[in-house]
Amino acid sequence: MTNPIRTGVVGAGLAATAFHVPLVLSLPELFVLHSVVERTPPADRPQGTVASKFEVSVNLVRKYEDLLSNPDIELIIIATPNATHYNFAKAALEAGKHVLVDKPVTTTYEEAKELGEIAQRKHLVLYAFQNRRWDSDYLTLRKVLEKGTLGHITDFVSHYDRYRNFLKGSWKETASPGTGLVYDLGTHLIDQALHSFGRPSKVTAFIQNLRGIGDDSVDDNFTIIMHYPRSDTNPYLLTVTLRAHPLSQRTPQLRYTIRGSKGTFVKYGLDVQEEQMKEKGVQAFGKDWFGKESDDIQAELEVVEKEGDNEPIKSRIQSERGAYQELYKNLAGAIRNNSEMAVKWSQAAMVMLIVDLAVQSSKEGRTIDVPSVQY
C-alpha cells in the first residue's frame, strides 16, 4: 500500500519546472503533487505555469501562507530565488512541514545552522537539493575514489566552465544576496568536494566579475581553493581547486582533473539529465537513454599498478548513469521510514560555511582558516 507524500512546490521558475516538478511527477508511488505556489501566473495560463506545462491538475496557490496552513501538505519544496530560501524554509518548518530546499540552501552559514536546529527540534526532514551528487560524472568519480585506484589524492580540480559573452537578464545577475556564480554553481562544486574529502583546514578564493558586463559586484568567475593537511588516511597534502570560467571556448568543457599517487582521472562534458528533463519533462524518466551520456565523454584514467611505478597505463571508464530520482527516493525514505539521509543537512550547512569563507577570503585577499564548527 502506497502512501505518497503530499507535496507543495513554491516557485514556478526554472528550478521548479526543469527539476522538481518532473521528478515529483515521475515517482507517483512516493509523491503526489498537491499544490504549487505561483504568485503571479501568466495571463494566458490562469491555471498556472506548472499545470499548463505538465498537463496535470494541481492546486494553484497564490499566497505561501495558504500552503503552510493547509494540513494536507506534508512536504514543501522550495524553488524560489536564493535570497528567499531561508525565510520560506523557516516558515515551512515552523508550520510543521518537511522541507526540500534548492541550493544554495541559504545565503549564510548561520542561517543554515538555524534551520537545521529547528528541523532537529521538531523532528522534521530538512533536505538540501544537492542533485549533482547523482550526476554521471560524479558517480563515476566516486566509484574510482572508493576503489582507491588513484591512490592518495593530491590535486583535485573541478570545473564548471562555459562560454557566454552576454547577460541572460535573470535575477541571478542582479546584485542581491545569494546571486552570482559562487552561489549558483560554486555550491555544487563545494558540496561534491566536501562529500569526498570532508572539511578543509583553509580556504582561499578569488571571486570576480571577469567579463565586465552587468553589475560589477555580481561575480561571473571564481577560483575557490580548499586546502587539506596531512591526515591518517592521506600522507600527502591535498589541494582542491574549484573553478568556473564564463568565457571558455571549448567543447566539451573540462570537468575534472584529479591526480593521486597512483593515477590521474580526467573527464570532460556535463551530465545529460538536465537537458533531457527540460526537453522531455516527465517522459524522460524510465527511458533507457535517460541519464546516459555519450561514450565520447567517458573519463580517461592513467594509472599504475603500484605506487612507485612510473609508466601509467591509459584506459577509459564507462560512465555511471545519472540518477536524480535517487535523491527523491532517499527523501521519501527519510520522511516515511526514517531512513538515513544521503545529503545530511550538516553537509549543506558546511557548504554555506565554505561559501562565507570564500567570499571573505576574496574580499580580504588572504587565506582563511576554517573554524571547527559544532554543527
Q: Are 339 and 368 in contact (CB under 8 A)?
A: no
122 binds other proteins (CB under 8 A): no
| Residue 4 interacts with other proteins (CB under 8 A): yes or no | no
Rounded (10°) angle between helices 345-364 and 109-122: 170
Per CB under 8 A, does 79 bind other proteins?
A: no
Euclidean distance between CA atoms 94 and 87, whole angstroms: 11
Least separation in angstroms between CB 1 and other proteins: 37
Q: Determine the size of the site formed for other proteins (CB under 8 A).
A: 69
Among 249, 337, 372, 374, binds other proteins (CB under 8 A): 249
Nearest CA to 131 out of 323, 279, 291 is that of: 323
Q: Which of 63, 283, 307, 318 binds other proteins (CB under 8 A)?
A: 307
CB 297 within 8 A of CB 188: no
Select from 275, 287, 315, 373 the one that contacts other proteins (CB under 8 A). Answer: 275
Q: What is the smallest separation between the CB atom of 141 and other proteins, expressed in angstroms?
A: 16
Strand partners for 129: 102
Per-residue b or e along 162-179, where b marks 16 or more CB atoms closer than 10 Å to that residue's CB? beeeeeeeeebbeeeebb
Q: How many residues does the chain have?
A: 375
Q: What sign does the dihedral 92-94-95-100 (CA atoms) show? A: positive
* C-alpha pair distances (Å), 141 with each of 21, 133, 235, 265, 301: 28, 10, 21, 8, 11
Q: How far apart (Å, rounded) are the C-alpha atoms in residues 127 and 198? A: 19
Judged by CB under 8 A, which of 160, 256, 328, 345 binds other proteins? 160
Binding status of residue 250 toward other proteins by CB under 8 A? yes
Which member of 85, 97, 259, 329 binds other proteins (CB under 8 A)?
259
CA 249 to chain centre: 24
Among positions 3, 14, 318, 363, the unique one binding other proteins when judged by CB under 8 A: 14
Shortest Cβ distance from residue 256 to other proteins (Å)?
13
Among 122, 162, 292, 321, binds other proteins (CB under 8 A): 162
- Does position 147 interact with other proteins (CB under 8 A)? The reply is no
Question: What does DSSP assign to residue 62?
Answer: S
Q: Does 373 participate in binding other proteins (rule CB under 8 A)? A: no
Q: What would the x/- binding string for other proteins be over residues 328 to 347, using CB under 8 A? A: --------------------
Quick note: the x/- pattern for other proteins over 213-232, rule CB under 8 A, is --------x-x-x-x--x--
Among 2, 40, 57, 165, binds other proteins (CB under 8 A): 165
Start-end of H helices in 95-176: 109-122, 136-147
| Residue 185 Cα distances to 13, 118, 143, 178, angstroms | 17, 27, 23, 11
Residues 21-50 that bind other proteins (CB under 8 A): none
User: Which three-class secondary structure state does DSSP give residue 309?
Assistant: strand
Query: How is residue 280 written as a grid cell?
Result: 522531455
Can residue 314 be called a binding residue for other proteins (CB under 8 A)? yes
| Binding of residue 233 to other proteins (CB under 8 A) | no
Residue 104 Cα to chain centre, angstroms? 8
- Asked if 98 interacts with other proteins (CB under 8 A), we say no
Looking at residue 71, what DSSP letter applies? T
The reply to whether 52 sits near other proteins by the rule CB under 8 A is: no
Q: Are strands 202-208 and 368-369 parallel, antiparallel or unpaired?
A: antiparallel
Q: Which stretch binds other proteins (CB under 8 A): 94-102, 122-130, 183-191, 288-296?
A: 183-191
| Residues binding other proteins (CB under 8 A) | 13-14, 18, 154-155, 160-173, 184-185, 188, 202, 204, 206, 208, 210-212, 221, 223, 225, 227, 230, 235-237, 239, 245, 247-251, 253-254, 257, 259-264, 270, 274-275, 278, 302-304, 307-308, 310, 312, 314, 364-367
